[in-house]
Amino acid sequence: AQSVTQPDIHITVSEGASLELRCNYSYGATPYLFWYVQSPGQGLQLLLKYFSGDTLVQGIKGFEAEFKRSQSSFNLRKPSVHWSDAAEYFCAVGARETGGFKTIFGAGTRLFVKA
Amino acid sequence: EAQVTQNPRYLITVTGKKLTVTCSQNMNHEYMSWYRQDPGLGLRQIYYSMNVEVTDKGDVPEGYKVSRKEKRNFPLILESPSPNQTSLYFCASSLIAGDNEQYFGPGTRLTVT
């Protein structure tokens, strides 16, 4: 069965420091991979996505992610965090099934930013 | 404005009283989906729809029903709500299933007592 693991429940970084959020997935075929961000009391917004091509993808708000097939990972990075990046981040996998398409989310990583 | 709308935004109900949460999108999207969000569990997919009259179960479909009679609407029905269905519910849509961004509604916070 497909699954997504975000090992860190929460992470605290100082403003201006670099950030890496981890995501590991389990899926037999090539997955569709996504990172979404959820600000407090809001819905989710797509940061970036990957299905094929260059394994380093650029997203909005200065985020990037790298797909590593050998490690089944899709980690999210940002070189310099801003206070406005404090939010919850979700990694997701899209998986084709017979006649359908499921989306599986990780449990999320809450990012705290120190001034 | 392109958007996904859900109603109601907040609902408190009692065990066993049937309820419907509506979801509508104005982007002519084919793929629609319902999720529930619970602390420590992230979002879990309840049901999804590939297109009109085509629905399928997600990972947590028990206790829920859906229908897709029109492309823009995808209501979530709880025939006999129970307290374990207390949660934050999100509807989402995308142009087609696959490598496409899902657009999320604002959420419906449901409490079942």
Residue B40, Cβ neighbours under 10 Å: how many?
7
Q: What is the pLDDT of residues B71-107, one digit of tens each?
A: 999 999 999 999 999 999 999 999 998 878 999 999 9
B-facing residues of A in 35-94 (CB < 8 A) are 42-46, 49, 51, 90, 92, 94
Contact residues, chain B, for A49 at CB < 8 Å: 99, 101
Contact residues, chain A, for B33 at CB < 8 Å: 103
Whether the CB of B104 is below 8 Å from some CB of chain A: the reply is: yes
> Out of B31, B43, B106, whose CB is closest to A105?
B43
The residues facing B77 across adjacent strands are B20, B65
pLDDT at A85: 96
Residue written as token pair 């940002």: A78
Whether the CB of B102 is below 8 Å from some CB of chain A: the reply is: yes
Task: Please tell me whether the peptide bond between A40 and the residue prior to it is cis, using omega within 30 degrees of 0.
Answer: no
Tokens of B91: 């509807």
Which residue from A minimizes the CA distance to B47?
A102
Q: What is the pLDDT of residues B12-60, one digit of tens each?
A: 999 999 999 999 999 999 999 999 999 999 999 999 999 999 999 999 9
Position B95, amino acid = L
Question: Which helix (DSSP H) or strand (DSSP E) does residue A112 occupy?
Answer: strand A109-114
Give residue A97's region: left, alpha or beta (phi > 0; psi -120 to 50): beta
Q: What is the mean pLDDT of residues A76-97?
A: 95
Q: Are A4 and A106 in contact (CB under 8 A)?
A: yes
Handedness of CA B19, B25, B28, B30 (dihedral sign): negative
Contact residues, chain A, for B87 at CB < 8 Å: none
Cβ contact A44–B102 (<8 Å): yes
Whether the CB of B47 is below 8 Å from some CB of chain A: the reply is: no
Eight-class DSSP state of A20: E
Whether the CB of B39 is below 8 Å from some CB of chain A: the reply is: no
By three-state DSSP, how is residue A83 classified? helix
